Amino acid sequence: MSVGPGCVITGASSGIGREVARLFLRRGFKVFGLSRWKGRLPIEHENFVPITCDLKRVDEAEGVARELLAREKGLSILVNNAGLGAFGPHDAVSKDAISAMVNVNLTSPMILTQKFLGRLRARRGHLVFISSVTAMGPSPMGATYGATKAAIRHFAQSIFEENRRSGLKVHTILPDLTATPFFDNLSFGPCLNDPETYLLPADIAEAVEFAVFTARDPVVVQEIVVRPRRFRIEKKG
Ligand SMILES: NC(=O)c1ccc[n+]([C@@H]2O[C@H](COP(=O)([O-])OP(=O)(O)OC[C@H]3O[C@@H](n4cnc5c(N)ncnc54)[C@H](OP(=O)(O)O)[C@@H]3O)[C@@H](O)[C@H]2O)c1
């Protein structure tokens, strides 16, 4: 059984989650990375533990949480990062895609949060949510994605208020366009030959680092919006 500082990160196999996992490894944490890990290699580090979990299946997320809580006594941080997006006019988005976005971006994070809350409170830990700038306004061509991101932001605000006396800190990061494999199967993405128009996963990890480690103890950095200087997206094909 491990009692050292432990951190659970969803979506640690790629992009932002992978970079946030590296941050916690650098900070001396044992990191449990939840992803499907299909065709993706785990981070090579003695303190990194890949855990296979499909967050579309909420029961699977719950089972992994239960098992980790029983085994790992030192868990003090949960980063709800995993997410996916399907975009286009809402009439054209499949029922499966809607259900996947709601389960991965919203329901599983809510259930994981519920399971880990007691432990995080007891250790005066941190809950981190990776939302999106799409949470801040309407998202035409991304109605369901934007709704899940707005909902998780609202959920985080409520969990913070509910647990304010406990010492638990809740942080939400709202990234803008970030160059990750998120866009691999989408019809648009960052304009990679124009570096002023997109963020890097390390920029988001830096925001997490500031919220969790840099701010003075009673200070809660509740939300950080991270944007590139200029706006530009590239249509593919
Ligand atoms: N990139 C952007 O521009 C941007 C902007 C704002 C917010 N965000 C948010 O940032 C978060 C990370 O995205 P990213 O840009 O880093 O994208 P990414 O590189 O595609 O990473 C997504 C991560 O989510 C995991 N994931 C997806 N479906 C899953 C499932 N069913 N079960 C378990 N894990 C699953 C993936 O792991 P597996 O595939 O191995 O399962 C992967 O590790 C997401 O919540 C996204 O909405 C991204």
Q: What are the C-alpha distances in Å from 64 to residues 73, 103, 122, 142?
A: 14, 15, 20, 30
Among the options 87, 116, 145, 160, which is catalytic?
A: 145
Grade residue 237 by pLDDT with cuts at 50, 70 and 90: confident
Please tell me the residue having the least CA distance from ligand 1 atom 23: 11
Residues 151-208 pLDDT 10s: 999 999 999 999 999 999 999 999 999 999 999 999 999 999 999 999 999 999 999 9
Grade residue 219 by pLDDT with cuts at 50, 70 and 90: very high
- On the question of pLDDT at 4 being above 80, the answer is no
- Ligand 1 in contact with 172 (CB < 6 A)? no
Please tell me the residue having the least CA distance from ligand 1 atom 8: 132
Planar angle of CA 77, 12, 153, nearest 5 degrees: 60
- Ligand 1 in contact with 197 (CB < 6 A)? no
- On the question of pLDDT at 1 being above 80, the answer is no
pLDDT, mean of residues 27-41? 96
- Ligand 1 in contact with 132 (CB < 6 A)? yes
Residues 60-116 pLDDT 10s: 999 999 999 999 999 999 999 999 999 999 999 999 999 999 999 999 999 999 999
Planar angle of CA 206, 61, 129, nearest 5 degrees: 25
* CA-derived radius of gyration, the chain: 17
- pLDDT on residue 96: 98
Centre of ligand 1 from the C-alpha of residue 181, in Å: 8
145 is catalytic: yes
pLDDT, mean of residues 129-147? 98
- pLDDT on residue 2: 66
What sign for the dihedral angle of Cα 159, 19, 198, 209? positive
Please tell me the residue having the least CA distance from ligand 1 atom 44: 83
- pLDDT on residue 187: 96
Q: Which domains are assigned to the chain?
A: 6-235 (3.40.50.720)
**β-bridge partners, 128:** 79, 171
CA dihedral 102, 108, 111, 114 (to 10 degrees): -110
Centre of ligand 1 from the C-alpha of residue 35, in Å: 9
Grade residue 30 by pLDDT with cuts at 50, 70 and 90: very high
Centre of ligand 1 from the C-alpha of residue 165, in Å: 32
Ligand 1 mutation target, pool 19, 34, 78, 81, most atoms within 8 A of CB: 81
For residues 128 and 211, what is the distance between their CA atoms, to the nearest angstrom? 9
Residues 106-119 pLDDT 10s: 999 999 999 999 99
Burial of 73 per CB tally in 10 Å (0-12, 13-18, 19+): middle
Percentage of residues in the chain with pLDDT exceeding 70?
98
- Ligand 1 in contact with 56 (CB < 6 A)? yes
- pLDDT on residue 92: 98
Quick one: which of 142, 128, 137, 145 has its CA closest to 207?
128
pTM over 0.85? The answer is yes
> In this structure, which amino acid lies at residue 151?
A
- pLDDT on residue 3: 63
Please tell me the residue having the least CA distance from ligand 1 atom 42: 11
**Residue 38: CB partners within 8 Å, gap ≥ 6?**
none
